[in-house]
Structure 1
Amino acid sequence: MIRFATALFLGAAAALPARAEVDIQTVTSPDGVGAWLVEEHSLPFIALEIAFVGGTSLDVEGKRGAVNLMTGLLEEGSGALDSRGFARAKEALASSFSFSSDPEKVSISARFLTENFDASVALLRDAMQNPRFEEADIQRVRAQVISGLSFAAKDPNDIAGKTFASMAYGEHPYGTVAAGTPESVGALTRDDLVEAHRNVLVRDRVLVGAVGDITPEQLGSLLDLLLGDLPESGPMLPPKVEPQIEGGITVVEFDTPQSVALFGQRGISIDNDDYFAAVLLNQILGGGSFESRLMQEVREKRGLTYGVYSYLYSRDLADAFMGSVSSANDRIAEAVSVIKDQWRLAAENGVTEEELGNAKTFLTGAYPLRFDGNGTIAGILVGMQLIGLEPEYIKTRNEKVESVTLEDVKRVAGELMNPDGLHFVVVGKPEGLVAE
């Protein structure tokens, strides 16, 4: 389903070892709600991750920011408890709940002790199903959101991201700010938040991952208790959108000694048979390693930046191949030129056997620390479901990486990479760089 930040997810979760103790079970509750479970009874602790697909993309027209604001209010009082009462109850149970949203999903994370299972689940259920949306809380959280939007309006990175998204996706939800604008957020009413809650938290778009001291039977009962009274379905998701990215340069004047550049072209879906070849290609080109071509050519050889990277931005409704770099105003033009050259070289010549071998070693051999712990694993379970993977993925992923050949990567580089379609959005006061 979701494709959001696939490069980041696959770069870590996908590089996980096939650990025998990660035995993923699929569970279906008596009422038909599905979930993935990893039982781990050595500690009296449970981690639960819940994702409602759609997220801020389900904002009603003219109500941009409603889902984001609604999500921020889920732990600001529910049922019989006001905001302070909810916080005290959570603290007394030594439970941890967090709520967040993005254009792909609304996420709910819960951590609680086995001995407080019933009380913690009851408290979480109230937060999900019976938020109070008190006017005082709405005004306070609204002010925080508007303050964040005002800060982002002065951040070069946020400006670059907003400009690129608007260019690529237009009026599609991907093309606008998920948190809304100060004007749209300021106009939201309590009824708008109730509507957002009703539209997003629905049973047929929920994905669940659970890890810890819990049995399949207990998880099934928990699912029906948490989700049973939520609406069965909600509004249709927005349609897929083809990024409107054409080669060129957009310059956004901003008074800063260093320019920020966000660049990108059309990408590749994770459903594509060549996706793993593209993952390896990106790792070699600019996947975050100091050994990547972009880091070597832009930073190490020329000293134009502290960091430059590329990533596959494959999402549920659109796919792009992106990257970012920052450099002094009088050097950003050279950095852009070098990136263009490396893009073209990769497209025309592919990669070397040594580069491919090193990339495979990294992706199959890196054992990310964030895989350790119940909470991390629960998040990975949901992440795998969100991007349409099967439970066996952890065990078979390395084989898929190893099966990619040098010829595969060269062919994909030629087909995917489009040097003439690469667009740069540069925010700052770049010297010698003309908007195209």
Structure 2
Amino acid sequence: MKHLLAAVLTVFLAIPAWAEIKIEEITSPSGIDAWLVQEPSIPFVALEIRFAGGASLDASGKRGAINLMTGLLEEGAGDLDARAFARATEALAASFSYSVDDDSLGISARFLTENRDAAVALLRSTIKEPRFDADSIERVRAQVIANIQSSAKDPNDIAGDAFAAMAYGDHPYGSALSGTENSVAALTRDDLLAAHKAVFARDRLYVSAVGDITPDELGQLIDTLLGDLPDTGAPLPEDADVTLSGGITVVDFDTPQSVALFGQKGIERDDDDFFAAYVMNHILGGGSFESRLMTEVREKRGLTYGVYSYLVPRDYAATYMGSVASANTRIAQSIQVIRDEWARMATEGASEQEVADAKTYLTGAYPLRFDGNGPIANIMVAMQMQGLPVDYIATRNDQVNAVTVDDVKRVAGELLDPDGLHFVVVGKPEGLPDVTQ
């Protein structure tokens, strides 16, 4: 059976998914909204489910509870312990995966049409009847703690944790969603049950599906799977205040190469100027080897193997961030060049050629994302969570192409804040001025 699923996936990935993506908006009999793309030529369905709030719903003093709970969802449910559940999933040639970040908890399901009912029943048990067996809790807890210990030795993770604490303070964004060794060690089974109750509710639910299923069939499937969830869960978080100010923070770490994470306040996804900022960022630091930062920091000066910038419009705060790694003796120069390029873009904007090249790349790369049922379903559920319209896929490239040189210059001047750019440097950097330790 599992070989049949592999064959189905192989065939489907050869289908030109970008040719036409017709999204249907449906409502289940119990009132749950979902988006559907029908593809009946292959007997296979990809289902994506998201619950807004994610690990940001951790109760006070219980950081890491939702992350640990999520890791236990496939460790047995209903009458099946972890091993029996794995065997049942394999026998159906189904695939279930569970993930969490600070904005959502996600469930991805893949199953054959002929096994749909059995797969949905099995998936439902993980949502409604997770076992949270003692041995599974301890096994997954040990894995989480091992990851926390590993992160404590990783310069990139150290920089990320320090930057988050500085940027977001006491908001859940300000601490690692996995928690600390102490917080995870103290979690009880009751804490995991409370975390489950906080997340799984209809008032924060988003659903998309792609494949061999009709609107009526999807409506029934959704109600079977999710219809009897509680109406409400834990209160969603408040917006975070981005408390960054310009400067440099050094975290001492014994390594020959310093890692720097830098950032400032960003732009919300629903801002009218988001696409102008998106094009601008591609030119500044998002365009890999073609970006200004890569040209100035790597190609001209050989200070790094890679330097990048990226917009981070999260649900409760928006930042504009970037990263670079350089030898301890050269990180100061790298930082200065990045600041100079930040300032140059803010004052001068971009050229006609840069804007044209960026738009060509961004519009040409977009169709490559739609390479199968799963990726399309994933994109659709993200669109719903971001409040994008059902025709966004068809109009997205038009919005990119509508960005002008003047738009980029105006938005760069409004958004970029060279004086407010803060760098967190992990390593033993030399020659850095204005350092806070």
**Smaller-chain TM-score range?**
over 0.9
For normalisation by structure 2, the TM-score amounts to 0.95
CA deviation string 1:135-157 (max 9, x = no partner): 11001100000000000000000
Q: Partners of 1:218 and 1:353 in 2: how far apart? A: 50
Shift of 1:20: 4.5
Paired residue type of 1:272? D
**Which residue in the other structure is 1:105 paired with?**
104
Q: Partners of 1:88 and 1:365 in 2: how far apart? A: 42
CA deviation string 1:248-268 (max 9, x = no partner): 000000001110000000111
Q: Secondary structure of 1:290's match?
A: helix
- The 8 Å contact of residues 46 and 209 in structure 2, kept in 1 or not, is answered as yes
- Superposed, 1:87-166 pairs within 5 Å as 87-166=86-165
- Superposed, 1:147-296 pairs within 5 Å as 147-296=146-295
**Which residue in the other structure is 1:7 paired with?**
none
Q: Partners of 2:369 and 2:131 in 1: how far apart? A: 35
CA deviation string 1:72-103 (max 9, x = no partner): 00010000100100000001001000001110
Shift of 1:372: 0.6
Q: Which runs of 4+ in 1 moved over 6 A?
A: none
CA deviation string 1:112-132 (max 9, x = no partner): 011111110000000111001
Q: Partners of 1:360 and 1:171 in 2: how far apart? A: 38
**Which residue in the other structure is 2:51 paired with?**
52
For normalisation by structure 1, the TM-score amounts to 0.95
Shift of 1:21: 2.4
1:356 aligns with 2:355: yes
**Which residue in the other structure is 1:390 paired with?**
389
Shift of 1:328: 0.8
**Which deviates more from structure 2 when the two are superposed, residues 416-425 or residues 404-413?**
404-413
Identical amino acids, percent of aligned pairs: 65
CA deviation string 1:225-280 (max 9, x = no partner): 11122111112111101200100000000001110000000111111111110001
What runs of 5+ residues in structure 1 fail to find an aligned partner?
1-16
Q: Partners of 1:368 and 1:277 in 2: how far apart? A: 20
CA deviation string 1:340-373 (max 9, x = no partner): 0000000111111110000111111124544211
1:301 aligns with 2:284: no
- Superposed, 1:26-65 pairs within 5 Å as 26-65=25-64
Q: Partners of 1:394 and 1:131 in 2: how far apart? A: 36
- The 8 Å contact of residues 94 and 119 in structure 2, kept in 1 or not, is answered as yes
- The 8 Å contact of residues 248 and 424 in structure 2, kept in 1 or not, is answered as yes
Q: Secondary structure of 1:278's match?
A: helix
CA deviation string 1:329-349 (max 9, x = no partner): 111111001000000000111
**Which deviates more from structure 2 when the two are superposed, residues 387-396 or residues 336-345?**
387-396
Q: Partners of 1:136 and 1:270 in 2: how far apart? A: 42
Paired residue type of 1:203? R
For the aligned residue pairs, the C-alpha RMSD in angstroms reads 1.1
Q: Partners of 1:308 and 1:76 in 2: how far apart? A: 39
**Structure 1 residues 345, 18: CA separation in 2 closer, same or farther (over 3 Å shift)?**
farther
- The 8 Å contact of residues 18 and 371 in structure 2, kept in 1 or not, is answered as no
Q: Partners of 1:354 and 1:242 in 2: how far apart? A: 37
Q: Secondary structure of 2:338's match?
A: helix
**Structure 1 residues 219, 18: CA separation in 2 closer, same or farther (over 3 Å shift)?**
closer
**Which residue in the other structure is 1:11 paired with?**
none
Paired residue type of 2:297? V
**Which residue in the other structure is 1:432 paired with?**
431
Paired residue type of 1:296? T
Q: Secondary structure of 1:132's match?
A: coil
**Which residue in the other structure is 2:8 paired with?**
none
Q: Partners of 1:379 and 1:207 in 2: how far apart? A: 11
Q: Secondary structure of 1:366's match?
A: helix
- The 8 Å contact of residues 17 and 372 in structure 2, kept in 1 or not, is answered as no
Q: Secondary structure of 1:359's match?
A: helix
Q: Partners of 1:303 and 1:61 in 2: how far apart? A: 46
Paired residue type of 1:72? G
Shift of 1:18: 10
What runs of 5+ residues in structure 2 fail to find an aligned partner?
1-15
Q: Partners of 1:327 and 1:119 in 2: how far apart? A: 53
Q: Secondary structure of 2:207's match?
A: strand
Q: Secondary structure of 1:295's match?
A: helix
- The 8 Å contact of residues 211 and 374 in structure 1, kept in 2 or not, is answered as yes
CA deviation string 1:282-311 (max 9, x = no partner): 000000321100000000001111110000
CA deviation string 1:406-428 (max 9, x = no partner): 11111111110000000000000
Q: Partners of 1:398 and 1:242 in 2: how far apart? A: 32
Q: Partners of 1:184 and 1:138 in 2: how far apart? A: 14
Q: Partners of 1:367 and 1:230 in 2: how far apart? A: 36
Q: Secondary structure of 1:115's match?
A: helix
Paired residue type of 1:68? N
Paired residue type of 2:186? A
Q: Partners of 2:36 and 2:357 in 1: how far apart? A: 34
- The 8 Å contact of residues 18 and 367 in structure 2, kept in 1 or not, is answered as no
- The 8 Å contact of residues 18 and 394 in structure 1, kept in 2 or not, is answered as no
Paired residue type of 1:205? R
- The 8 Å contact of residues 129 and 229 in structure 1, kept in 2 or not, is answered as no
Q: Partners of 2:122 and 2:153 in 1: how far apart? A: 39
Shift of 1:19: 3.7
Paired residue type of 1:310? S
**Which residue in the other structure is 2:11 paired with?**
none
Q: Partners of 1:40 and 1:306 in 2: how far apart? A: 43
**Which deviates more from structure 2 when the two are superposed, residues 360-369 or residues 308-317?**
360-369
